[in-house]
Chains A and B, each alone.
Chain A
Amino acid sequence: MSTAAISQAKRWYWQRVSAMVLALCVFVHLGVLIYAVRGGLSAAGILGRTQGNWAFGAFYAVFVVACAVHVPVGLANIATEWWGLRESVALWLARAFGVLLLVMGLRAVWAVVA
């Protein structure tokens, strides 16, 4: 079996495993969202709950990491299949986007927790 095929199979599994994590995260996220806005939505209210809440921070950090793993695999497939990019080019573009998601996501988590 070629190394390319092994890497492709591995990417597929990483995408599925991260999808499982994301499914759980989205479920919890929506639940918290519905619960948290019952008394109205304000920046002070949100920061009051999140600042110093490291459990909240850890949960959303996992959410962000799962996104950063999951999204590039699908984007690379789209770029290969729809735009006709070479696999290596599509992978590097998708990875760059994954790093962007990771940095922006973790920065957002830090901003509301720290």
Chain B
Amino acid sequence: MSTMLTVKVWRGTAGGAFTRYEVPRQASQTVLDVVTHIQRYLEPTLSYRFACRVGMCGSCAMTVNGKACWTCRTHVAKVVKDVAGDVGELEIAPLSNLPVIKDLATDMSAFFDKWARAKGQFKGTATRADDFAKVAPASPERVAANAGIECIGCGVCYASCDVVGWRPDYLGPAALNRAWTLVNDVRDVQQPERLRAVAGDAGCHACHTQGSCTERCPKQLAPTLAIAGLKRKAAKAAVRGEL
């Protein structure tokens, strides 16, 4: 293993540029370790975002060598070739499809606003006086909701989606995945409104089924499947005249 690693890091906002740093190479080093080293020892003004460091919070997502990922769970050895002293470069940039606030930190407001636009909020009718709702764990709806429920909103899918880049209005994979989990929540009472919110070219019908979101999701979720489910539900609603 080489002793030093050449790292290019995005500095500034949209009109910024990459700056080159030399970082000591260490065993089991993550990309987040590299960014942290740069900020602590080489560039104190470097801005980036992280919290848990163990793949639970989803706040450290960045573009590493062209692909969006969690930096805390991405080992340098997996993204940089290090064969017989021929060390590849590490390029770290902010997430795509989101405005850059500074350096590696993006403004995720639009991303989360789209969750709200996709009616990503649960709305039930039960009060605290009511008994617990009984949802059979093996029911098709519960199984479908389970498949997408573990999303932690890191934005990796959103940054990996070409359609988001082409259509700024497009809700994106995460918001549509969230909508799909709620479409399958039998307690929720705003189903027609949600299907209306996610139909059309700003919603599920713009998806090209390229599957980048599903390929890159660090939680191994499949937003592509969720979007296909929304298309099916929207079709059935349209036939019934409910869309």
> What residues make up the interface of A, taking CB atoms closer than 8 Å to B?
1-2, 4-6, 8-10, 12-13, 77, 80-82, 87
Contact = CB atoms under 8 A, between A and B. Distances in A.
19 contacts: A1-B196, A1-B197, A2-B200, A5-B196, A5-B201, A6-B199, A6-B200, A8-B206, A9-B199, A9-B200, A9-B205, A9-B243, A10-B238, A13-B238, A80-B167, A80-B201, A81-B166, A82-B166, A87-B201
Interface residues of B, number: 17
Contacts of A9: 199-200, 205, 234, 238, 243
Given A1-B196, A9-B199, A81-B167, 8 more contacts: A1-B200, A1-B243, A5-B202, A5-B203, A6-B199, A6-B200, A8-B205, A77-B206
Interface string B196-218: 11011111011000000000000
Contact of B231 (A12, A77, A87): A12
A5 B196 CA distance: 8
B145 interface: no
> Helix, strand, loop or mixed for chain B's interface?
helix
| Chain A binding surface SS class | helix
Contacts of A80: 166-167, 201
Q: Which of B166, B201, B234 has the most CB of A within 10 A?
A: B201
B235 interface: yes
B157 interface: no
